[in-house]
């Protein structure tokens, strides 16, 4: 602050000049109509340019807020669609023709869900009669829920992401950098898990989105899994970990969608030609 | 005090001269040679830089009020007064500055004096004609008026100084 005053004092001659020169300019602009027109046109165009640039910056800065609002709206609309489908008992698989994703989906309702076990499971009100089979992905309005493991004619059960051990190994990636890792739940919290296998150079920021990598046929790429919880500590970097918060609120889950990969059989045959 | 009154009196004379004679010389549209910067050239070297600016502004504004030119002379004279200490520092030696020299043909010699006057007039005329045109759309016109008027003003100053120079000798 003292230095600032010193600099201002050192430039006092410049301030005096600018002051009196500015006053002279005011007199000039007030005196001549032509000068007035030019001056006001110039200031208007400068103000316009400044306003446009400020708005652009403002929009850019608030993109994350708009993104969150859009996401919330998307979740609400998904819920609405699922609700309508269940109320109408429309039991048909819907495919996404607009996005050309080779997946179709069916709405289902959770009829049972555990949250405090080391292997948390769910049960759906759909079964093999409706086309469900093991290894189908299940997603909720906000993100990934789990995978179907067993089916009966009218019901299906599966493992949620909250699964200790090797019950469910989900390949994920950081949306911002595309870095791959695996999702692991340590059984400590119903809201949080961690990514394993991240390279040491990978930097994460709290709030970064973690999504499905699309490297398995269970989930397409880009389904939200969670959000980075905190920056990586030194220990995390050494171990290749990063903490995340699940995108899905398991405690408030009701409606879900079961995903069916259209080319599942074809891919299985191609990758394992000897299997029947 | 006497020196100040002397300066004020000379300033008033220059104002009258500019109002009644110089401003009525109209060699052509856009041609407006000036004589009054000569009054500022003669300020002692150690005259306060801020006071120069204030003095230049006041003088210019009075002239503007008389001639109806808004603040054209005030802006140009303020700019000239602002750069004057830097120009003097370049043209005068340390001894000359410490002796509080009054720049003139006698003290500096004709060549140095006119050279110094040329640079100061360049500044004065640039601001005067730039604000007068108030547009970057005709740089040729600006350049012509700027340099032409600078040379004409310099010639006028040289002429007046020459008249007084002869009388003093």
pLDDT at B119: 95
Q: Distance of CA B105 to CAs A91, B77, B160, B163, Å?
A: 106, 21, 11, 12
What's phi and psi for A138, nearest 5 deg?
Answer: -125, 125
Q: Which residues of B touch A17 (CB under 8 A)?
A: 53, 78-79, 81-82
Q: pLDDT over 90 for what percent of chain A?
A: 26
Q: Is the per-residue pLDDT at B6 higher than 70? A: yes
Find the closest chain A residue to B72 by CA distance.
Answer: A28
By C-alpha distance, the chain B residue nearest A14 is B82
- Percent pLDDT > 90 in chain B is 40
> Taking a C-beta distance cutoff of 8 angstroms, is the pair A159, A168 a contact?
yes
List, in order of start, the domains of chain A with CATH numbers: 2-61 (no CATH), 94-271 (2.40.10.340)
Q: Which of B55, B75, B86 to mutate to test the interface with A (most CBs of A within 10 A)?
A: B75
- A143 touches A256 (CB < 8 A): no
Ranges of residues in chain A whose predicted pLDDT is under 70 = 82-101, 166-167, 274-276
d(CA A226, CA A222): 11
Range B107-115 average pLDDT: 90
What pLDDT shows up at residue A166?
67
**Comparing C-alpha atoms, which of A140, A146, A163 is closest to residue A249?**
A140
User: Strands A255-261 and A209-212, how do they pair?
Assistant: unpaired
| Closest C-alpha among A166, A221, A227 to residue A195 | A227
pLDDT value, residue B10 = 83
The stretch B139-144 carries a mean pLDDT of: 90
Q: Which residue of B has its CA nearest to A31?
A: B70
Nearest to B70 among A13, A14, A27 (CB): A27
- Confirm or reject contact between B30 and chain A (CB < 8 A): no
Instruction: State the pLDDT at residue A85.
Output: 62
Residues of chain A found within 8 Å of residue B85, distances taken between Cβ atoms: 13
* Contact assignment for B78 to A24 by CB distance below 8 Å: yes
Phi-psi bin for A225: left (phi > 0), alpha (psi -120 to 50), beta? alpha
Q: Does B57 touch chain A (CB under 8 A)?
A: yes
pLDDT in tens, A37-52: 988 888 899 999 999 9
Q: How far apart are CA A23 and CA A17, in angstroms?
A: 10
pLDDT for B169 equals 44
Residue among B57, B75, B135 whose CB faces A28 most closely:
B75
Q: Residues of chain A whose C-beta is under 8 A from some C-beta in B?
A: 12-14, 16-17, 20-21, 23-32, 34-35, 38-39
Q: What is the pTM of this model?
A: 0.53
Q: What is the mean pLDDT of residues B70-88?
A: 93
- Residue B168 reports pLDDT greater than 70: no
Instruction: Among B48, B54, B63, B78, pick the best mutation site for testing chain A contact (most A Cβ within 10 A).
Output: B78
Q: According to the model, what pLDDT value does residue B121 have?
A: 95
Residues on chain A touching B60 (C-beta within 8 angstroms): 24
| Percentage of chain B modeled with pLDDT above 70 | 96
How far, rounded to the nearest angstrom, does the alpha carbon of residue A251 sit from its chain's CA centroid?
A: 20
Predicted pLDDT at A255: 83
Looking at residue A108, the DSSP 8-state letter turns out to be: E
Residues sharing a CB contact under 8 Å with residue B141, sequence separation 6 or more, in sequence order: B30, B133
Provide the 10 A C-beta neighbour count for residue B17.
16
In whole angstroms, give the CA distance from residue A52 to residue A57.
Answer: 9
Q: Where are the domains of chain B?
A: 2-168
């Amino acid at each position: 602050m003292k230095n600032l005053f010193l600099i201002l004092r050192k430039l006092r001659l410049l301030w005096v000049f600018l002051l009196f020169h500015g006053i002279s300019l005011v007199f000039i602009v007030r005196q001549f109509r032509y000068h007035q027109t030019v001056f006001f046109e110039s200031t208007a165009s400068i103000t316009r340019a400044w306003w446009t640039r400020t708005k652009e910056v403002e929009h850019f800065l608030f993109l994350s807020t708009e993104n969150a609002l859009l996401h919330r709206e998307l979740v609400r609309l998904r819920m609405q669609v699922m609700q309508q489908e269940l109320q109408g008992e429309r039991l048909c698989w819907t495919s996404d023709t607009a996005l050309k994703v080779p997946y179709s989906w069916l709405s289902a309702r959770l009829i049972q869900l555990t949250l405090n076990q080391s292997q948390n499971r769910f049960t759906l009100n759909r079964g093999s009669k409706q086309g469900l089979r093991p290894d189908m992905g299940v997603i909720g309005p906000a993100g990934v829920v789990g995978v179907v493991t067993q089916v009966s004619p009218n019901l299906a059960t599966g493992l949620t992401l909250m699964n200790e051990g090797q019950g469910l190994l989900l390949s994920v990636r950081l949306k911002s950098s595309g870095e791959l890792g695996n999702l692991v739940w340590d059984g400590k919290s119903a809201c949080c898990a961690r990514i394993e296998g991240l390279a040491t150079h990978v930097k994460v920021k709290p709030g970064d989105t973690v999504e499905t990598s699309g490297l398995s046929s269970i989930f397409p790429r880009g389904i939200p899994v969670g959000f980075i919880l905190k920056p990586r500590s030194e220990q995390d970097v050494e171990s290749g970990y990063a903490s995340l918060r699940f995108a899905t609120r398991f405690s408030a889950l009701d409606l879900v969608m079961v995903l069916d990969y259209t080319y599942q059989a074809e891919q299985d045959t191609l990758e394992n030609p000897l299997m029947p | 005090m006497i020196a100040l009154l002397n300066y004020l009196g000379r300033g008033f004379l220059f104002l009258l001269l500019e109002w009644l004679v110089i401003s009525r010389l109209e060699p052509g549209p856009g041609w407006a040679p000036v004589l009054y910067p000569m009054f500022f050239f003669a300020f002692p070297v150690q005259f306060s830089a801020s006071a120069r600016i204030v003095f230049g502004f006041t003088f210019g504004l009075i002239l503007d009020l008389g001639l109806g030119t808004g603040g054209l002379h005030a802006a140009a004279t303020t700019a000239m007064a602002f750069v004057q200490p830097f120009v003097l520092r370049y043209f005068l030696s340390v001894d000359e500055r410490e002796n509080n020299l009054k720049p003139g043909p006698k003290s500096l010699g004709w060549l140095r004096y006119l050279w110094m006057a040329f640079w100061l007039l360049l500044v004065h005329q640039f601001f005067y004609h730039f604000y007068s045109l108030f547009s970057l759309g005709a740089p040729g016109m600006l350049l012509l008026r700027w340099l032409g008027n600078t040379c004409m003003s310099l010639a006028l100053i040289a002429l007046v100084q020459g008249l007084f120079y002869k009388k003093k000798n």
